[in-house]
């Protein structure tokens, strides 16, 4: 059955509101028809991926420029670009790459899409309400928004997210429907996790098994165990990287967990149950590490983009210390968080030790191989998965403290 359209939507499809809106409506209608959506629903905000010149190249740029004249009708922001939009020369980005990247940003801006390039818009005030429909595309942000915030979004592709920004709607299917938000896998984690790094490994291990299922993670460790937002951020990112998990429930933590537990009880017999032990996490860390410590020439943090608390932690670890001359330490975050961190003194502490904080970009979508790095130490399983897939540079996966020790003189 084809998706039902209102009169206004039909007129947009007929070209009444211009070429860009017509193309956007064509994308949404095609998507809705393919996935059996019954209608379009309004979205509260849009987050667009496919922003880096490294990933979309000249073809993507041409497509974006063909949409000039379209205007976003809802709050819309971008995923990280291929470089720090202000400090790209300092990063060593080639001029031709920078030219292409700046044209991409200009094309988005001409459509009223804000050049706020981050995979963590929820750290910067774009904080969706429980049950709010969104059209977000960055996989870690989608998983965080669905699971931790209780919003409703599919994992949009770049073009469908742009289309949603121009129309303000998305087809109603997938995670917008309550029946698709029920758990389909039960996970037991009888170990105490120490920090975000452990959560990142846990997400990687669960994602491998879960693929695109909806895991329900039973109560972790012990009652009263507090899980920080940054730990859930790390978990969301790696769940979506090793599998394509877009929603999980965690007992006592996520907003739909009680509903999910009730639904689980009714279907106990048909649901697979898995247990994750400490050795599973250690095995994952080893499998994702392809470099040795003495090869490391870059330590990179901020996948997903670093929060203020993570910058504070790193500033504290680096305070009064000096990095090895041949090893760089780069932290990726959003422009907004960098500005706040500047006022808090964290940037000064990190830069005094020899580190750098870059905004608008990240270690995966910037051309680090072309810049010349050979081996990167990261504290994020998602970064390790994506960098390993590119094959160069090599990767070593370790905790924040271990990564910093690799970058130190002593």
37 near ligand F3S, judged by CB under 6 A: no
158 near ligand F3S, judged by CB under 6 A: no
Tokens of 120: 């963590």
Taking CB under 6 A as the criterion, the residue among 80, 168, 183, 354 binding ligand F3S is 80
Taking CB under 6 A as the criterion, the residue among 237, 246, 337, 375 binding ligand F3S is 237
What is the 3-state secondary structure of the chain?
A: CCCCCCHHHHHHHCCCCCHHHHHHHHHHHHHHHHHCCCCEEECCCEEECCCCHHHHHHHHHHHHHHCECECCCCCEEECCECCCCCCHHHHCCCHHHHHHHHHHHHHHHHCCCCCCECCCHHHCCCCCCCCCECEECCHHHHHHHHHCCCCECCCCCHHHHHHHHHHCEEECCHHHCHHHHCCCEEEECCCCCCCHHHHHHHHHHHHHHHCCCCEEECCCCCCCCCCCHHHHHHHHHHHHHHCCCCCCEECCCCCCHHHHHHHHHHCHHHCEEEECCHHHHHHHHHHHCCCCHHHCCEEEECCCCCCHHHHHHHHHHHCCCCECCCCEEEEEECHHHHHHHHHHCHHHHHHHCCCEEEECECCCCCCHHHHCCCEEEECCHHHHHHHHHHCCCEEEECCHHHHHHHHECC
72 near ligand F3S, judged by CB under 6 A: no
Q: Report the C-alpha gap between 8 and 15 in whole angstroms.
A: 11
Site residues for ligand F3S, window 99-138 (CB under 6 A)? 119, 138
54 near ligand F3S, judged by CB under 6 A: no
Q: Which is nearer to ligand F3S, 55 or 180 (CB)?
A: 55
Q: Which stretch binds ligand F3S (CB under 6 A): 99-107, 160-168, 219-227, 362-370?
A: 362-370
362 near ligand F3S, judged by CB under 6 A: yes
Q: Do 203 and 238 touch, CB atoms closer than 8 A?
A: yes
Q: How far is the CB of 362 from ligand F3S (least distance, A)?
A: 3
336 near ligand F3S, judged by CB under 6 A: no
Q: How far is the CB of 144 from ligand F3S (least distance, A)?
A: 10
Taking CB under 6 A as the criterion, the residue among 47, 122, 386, 397 binding ligand F3S is 386
φ, ψ of residue 54 in degrees (nearest 5): -65, -35
Taking CB under 6 A as the criterion, the residue among 364, 368, 376, 381 binding ligand F3S is 364
Q: How far is the CB of 16 from ligand F3S (least distance, A)?
A: 36
Taking CB under 6 A as the criterion, the residue among 365, 377, 378, 403 binding ligand F3S is 365
70 near ligand F3S, judged by CB under 6 A: no
306 near ligand F3S, judged by CB under 6 A: no
Taking CB under 6 A as the criterion, the residue among 304, 336, 355, 367 binding ligand F3S is 304
Q: Which is nearer to ligand F3S, 146 or 263 (CB)?
A: 146
Q: Which is nearer to ligand F3S, 29 or 362 (CB)?
A: 362
217 near ligand F3S, judged by CB under 6 A: no
Q: Which stretch binds ligand F3S (CB under 6 A): 68-76, 147-155, 266-274, 299-307?
A: 299-307
Q: Which is nearer to ligand F3S, 87 or 324 (CB)?
A: 87
Taking CB under 6 A as the criterion, the residue among 172, 186, 285, 305 binding ligand F3S is 305
Q: Report the C-alpha gap between 47 and 240 in whole angstroms.
A: 16
Q: Which is nearer to ligand F3S, 20 or 311 (CB)?
A: 311
- Residues of the shown chain interacting with ligand F3S in the complex, contacts defined by CB under 6 A: 79-80, 119, 138, 140, 237, 303-305, 332, 362, 364-365, 382-383, 386
């Amino acid at each position: 059955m084809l998706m039902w359209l209102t009169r206004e939507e039909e007129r947009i499809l007929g070209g009444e509101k211009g070429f860009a809106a017509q193309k956007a409506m064509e994308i949404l209608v095609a998507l809705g028809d393919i996935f059996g959506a019954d209608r379009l629903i309004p979205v509260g905000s849009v987050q667009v991926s496919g922003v880096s010149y490294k990933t979309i190249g000249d073809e993507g740029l041409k497509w974006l420029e063909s949409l000039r004249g379209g205007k976003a009708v809802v709050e819309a922001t971008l995923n990280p670009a291929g470089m720090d939009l202000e400090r790209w020369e300092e990063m060593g980005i080639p001029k031709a790459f920078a030219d292409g990247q700046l044209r991409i940003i200009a094309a988005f801006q001409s459509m009223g899409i804000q050049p706020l390039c981050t995979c963590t818009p929820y750290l910067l005030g774009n904080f969706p309400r429980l049950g709010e429909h969104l059209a977000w595309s960055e996989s870690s942000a989608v998983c965080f928004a669905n699971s931790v915030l209780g919003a409703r979004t599919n994992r949009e592709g770049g073009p469908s997210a742009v289309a949603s920004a121009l129309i303000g709607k998305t087809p109603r299917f997938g995670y917008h429907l309550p029946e698709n938000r029920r758990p389909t896998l039960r996970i037991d984690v009888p170990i105490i996790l120490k920090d975000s790094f452990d959560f990142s490994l846990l997400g990687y291990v669960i994602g491998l098994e879960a693929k695109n299922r909806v895991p329900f993670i039973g109560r972790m460790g012990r009652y009263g165990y507090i899980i920080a937002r940054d730990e859930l951020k790390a978990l969301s990112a790696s769940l979506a990287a090793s599998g394509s998990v877009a929603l999980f429930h965690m007992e006592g933590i996520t907003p739909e967990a009680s509903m999910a537990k009730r639904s689980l009880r009714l279907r106990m017999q048909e649901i697979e149950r898995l247990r994750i032990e400490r050795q599973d996490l250690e095995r994952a860390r080893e499998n994702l590490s392809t470099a040795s410590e003495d090869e490391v020439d870059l330590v990179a943090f901020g996948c997903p983009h670093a929060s203020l608390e993570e910058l504070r932690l790193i500033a504290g670890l680096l305070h009064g210390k000096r990095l090895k001359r041949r090893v760089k330490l780069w932290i990726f975050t959003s422009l907004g968080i960098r500005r706040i961190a500047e006022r808090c003194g964290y940037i000064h502490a990190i830069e005094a030790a020899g580190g750098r904080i870059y905004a608008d970009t990240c270690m995966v979508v910037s051309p680090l191989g072309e810049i010349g790095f050979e081996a990167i130490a990261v504290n994020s399983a998602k970064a390790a998965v994506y960098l390993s897939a590119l094959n160069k540079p090599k990767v070593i996966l370790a905790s924040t403290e271990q990564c910093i020790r690799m970058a130190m003189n002593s």
